[in-house]
Structure 1
């Protein structure tokens, strides 16, 4: 060996362990940043989804003069059968015109359409799903997720697909319509400041809200917001896409009495597509299934909301909200944003 060439020396075990330790530290430092970047991308996609829904709502308004109905009550539908909801009516405006025509939305009975087009009505539609939520594509009684080591069974709504009574699940969505500041209500409030007398939001049964009806200003009124599948060891129930249950009793596979508004059968099943400010954002879950009507998200600290002017804002879960302590009166910031014509104009938001 020449004197100018140094002999190669292998790593010692100690040196190798030091190198592995350094690499481990670097990975540990980088992993949160990678996860944060991924969540940021998912959050941006969720925001974009709501923006697309906002554009679709305005295109619907241009075509029909009003917002789509929260749901259309089908007077001949049975307890386990469905009723068309707002997400079905905007399908042509989110590049789903062929699906809309095939389902014959608003003309065919909803449950009949489900029986004839089950695959399409159980598919996952990314425009209506937050990428941060790992809930199922459609409600499936056999589905479960594991949260912090605890297995959580599926929760949702099933429908009788005509002809038959096979309790069929439908596609789910993370985006629910703004309905009220108190419990969900099927009818418009007689007093726009009192969510007990009816819905103070823009969507409810057979609603046909015009932009001029939103007297508080569309830029200061929430039209829709997020709801996630599960969290904190409990499910918060994604909304049902295209169909909602609205019957006269409590079917075994449908909503329970706690899903009704003041135990009134006329409001049964509203939580399957509508949300309220009643429980705030990301409420601390207590096992009360009425909390299923809350807005929530998989994003830390709050949830995205679509305003009437098409703007999407992330509202902090600590937003001023009197929950149910105000007896249904619109008297806090979140309640004012949820209500369309309470007359309490928000100067800056």
Structure 2
């Protein structure tokens, strides 16, 4: 008798759009893109360069399963120089709402459009350059994820630098309270450092003397969302990395096996998860939402991470049991497998069946 194992995976489709030629002020609007399944969430992500005085607005609208077309929802107003760099609350209606960086639908979605508008002072908006534009559509199952099996390729680990967010306790509280909430900026700074990218000395002078790692403070300022008053906006973290030449996107991955494919291709992956202290052995804390960098896998398949929530840089590298990590990362009551991938354009991604 054969045993059939049914794996309940998130349904994910990542759409990459041709780079909008912004050239002049005004909107660029995509054609309507079918999703291929009834989706419940949409998350855009982008990279762009915005001269001083200019910014981009990214919007989405969707077609529901009953054929209705929703209104346009603003998914972010973004400038690499700040002002504006903000999400917009209070957009909810009978079709859905925007939760910081995610459009959460109240009825199934079957297609969507994206619109990008360049804004700015006279002569500035025309200098906006969009490097990449993606939209992730997904439907996350409510049942707990089924653990994936370890690969048979041996241990692998990438040399990603270690930055603890708590080394920055009390720093620049105007950007979300200093180090306590800087898991996202610390993770992006780690990945930028791995790729040999990031701000130069002159860009760091404002941080102040005696800072143990000024690039983390810089990333906090560069990702801070003035609307939700935090640094955890996923697309804003991708866009910040894009100002240093990286390509990036937000998606949902569906297993540690998919994470391992990236790591074996030489690409660390940033993940979002929530858990109680007993659910993730080796973490030592509970969180309603934390960002980590997956850097490797042990020979037995356990997950090696750089966890910026560690109390100091020396304790950032940690190893978590594979099944426990997958559970807290993939479950629908948490992030549902959210990840963002940052890589130089010349570094190819591993093969995919549609979610990256």
TM-score of the pair, normalised by structure 2: 0.29
Q: Which has the larger radius of gyration?
A: 1
TM-score of the pair, normalised by structure 1: 0.30
Q: Which has the higher strand share?
A: 2
